[in-house]
């Protein structure tokens, strides 16, 4: 038996498992990418939910505060407009997920989120002036700046996704849409 190649496990020993093998039973070599109509329908639903949560609800809350002794440096319309734009970016990102455009779209969405949080942080003051020249001002800009870490991590992940999509087209789809 000298010089003869014996496959692993032929003598009764247990071969170590191969991690991330392309023929792994848990990872199909093909992807089941939903059709454009399905992705469009989910994108519209995502847009509507995001529009309500990140645009309409803050708009409505700020609008109700307008007639009170509380003053905020951001107008309700600004929050509504930026929230609607962010909702659209989120929906477009989902629509582009199975394409090479997903990485750049995810980068744009994350960058817009960072810019929005820093824009809000610059205007993050709440003043309560009940009357008689007495008032309280609270600044919460640091909290919003710290919240920008989440979209920053998303931005870094989107850069990696874009690079990987350019280096290995279609490889990500098996993980995102397993068959």
24: pLDDT strictly greater than 60: no
Residue 171 has what pLDDT?
86
Largest CA distance in the chain: 100
Residue 108 has what pLDDT?
97
121: pLDDT strictly greater than 50: yes
Query: CA 128 → CA 71, 75, 82, 132, 133, distances in Å?
Result: 6, 16, 25, 12, 11
Mean pLDDT across the stretch 154-159? 96
147: pLDDT strictly greater than 60: yes
pLDDT tens, position by position, 58-91: 999 989 888 787 888 888 999 999 999 999 999 9
In which band, very low, low, confident or very high, does the pLDDT at 103 lie, cut at 50, 70 and 90?
Answer: very high
Helix (H) or strand (E) holding 134: strand 134-139
In which band, very low, low, confident or very high, does the pLDDT at 16 lie, cut at 50, 70 and 90?
Answer: low
Q: CA-to-CA distance for 149 and 118, rounded, in angstroms?
A: 11
Q: CA-to-CA distance for 50 and 69, rounded, in angstroms?
A: 30
Q: Give the mean pLDDT of the chain.
A: 85
How large a percentage of the chain has pLDDT more than 90?
51
Better-scored residue on pLDDT, 124 or 51: 51
Residue 28 has what pLDDT?
58
In which band, very low, low, confident or very high, does the pLDDT at 21 lie, cut at 50, 70 and 90?
Answer: very low
């Amino acid at each position: 038996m000298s010089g003869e190649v014996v496959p692993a496990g032929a003598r009764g020993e247990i071969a170590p498992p191969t991690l991330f093998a392309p023929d792994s039973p848990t990872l199909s070599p093909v992807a089941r990418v939903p059709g454009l109509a399905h992705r469009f329908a989910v994108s519209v639903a995502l847009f509507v939910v995001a529009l309500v949560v990140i645009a309409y609800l803050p708009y409505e809350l700020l609008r109700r505060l307008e007639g009170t002794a509380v003053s905020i440096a951001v107008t309700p319309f600004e929050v509504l407009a930026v929230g609607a734009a962010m909702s659209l970016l989120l929906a477009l990102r989902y629509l582009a997920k199975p394409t090479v455009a997903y990485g750049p779209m995810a980068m744009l969405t994350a960058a817009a989120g960072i810019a929005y949080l820093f824009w809000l942080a610059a205007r993050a003051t709440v003043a309560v002036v009940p009357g008689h020249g007495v008032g309280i001002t609270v600044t919460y800009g640091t909290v919003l700046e710290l919240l920008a870490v989440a979209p920053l991590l998303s931005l870094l992940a989107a850069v990696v996704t874009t690079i990987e999509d350019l280096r290995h087209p279609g490889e990500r789809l098996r993980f995102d849409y397993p068959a």
